[in-house]
Amino acid sequence: MTSKPVSLPISIADALASFSALWSPRILTTVNDYDVRVAKVEGEHVWHVHEGTDEFFLVLDGELHIALRESAGERTVVLPKGSAFTVPRGTEHKPYAPVRTEILVLEPSGTLTVGDHHDDVPDHVDVTTGHALSS
């Protein structure tokens, strides 16, 4: 039987204060095979889809809009501070933040921020599976 390393509490505020890049998530911790990521976002992301996984969003500060392309058509969910939403696997979506917003995202480790299929990626969007949190 292997033992896990001892975990220490993580301050979300300190984690968010440790970086300034937008659309470039940091891995706060892992839970089983899932990353708990925090990110600062503003403006538009890209239309993309995660074929094999749901994507959970929690708005820590600010406001996040998520446009969805579903079988019934397009719609947008608006998430104010303190709101959570799960984008179902296989649903094309595009996050947008009208103001600087801080989010927490839960998804399987190794999941690309631009999904499995996506529009052209503008320079302001980081194509990553998450960056290690600076200590």
pLDDT band at 135 (very low <50, low <70, confident <90, very high): low
The per-residue pLDDT for 41 is 97
Q: What is each CA distance from 52 to 29, 66, 80, 92, 105, in whole angstroms? A: 21, 19, 27, 12, 16
Q: Is residue 84 part of a domain?
A: yes
Q: Is residue 10 part of a domain?
A: no
pTM exceeding the 0.95 threshold for the entire prediction? no
Residue the block writes with tokens 């659309």: 23
Domain count, the chain: 1
Q: Is residue 80 part of a domain?
A: yes
* Mean pLDDT, rounded, for 5-23: 90
The per-residue pLDDT for 116 is 78
Q: Is residue 27 part of a domain?
A: yes
Smallest Cα–Cα separation from 44: which of 76, 82, 91?
Answer: 76
Domain harbouring 50, CATH code: 2.60.120.10
Contacts of 132 (CB under 8 A, 6+ apart): 26, 27
The per-residue pLDDT for 67 is 98
Strand partners, 71: none
- Write out pLDDT tens, residues 85-126: 999 999 999 999 999 999 999 999 999 887 777 778 778 888
Phi, psi (degrees; rounded to nearest 5) at 28: -75, -45
- Give the range of the structural domain holding residue 73, as residue numbers without chain letter: 20-120
The per-residue pLDDT for 113 is 87
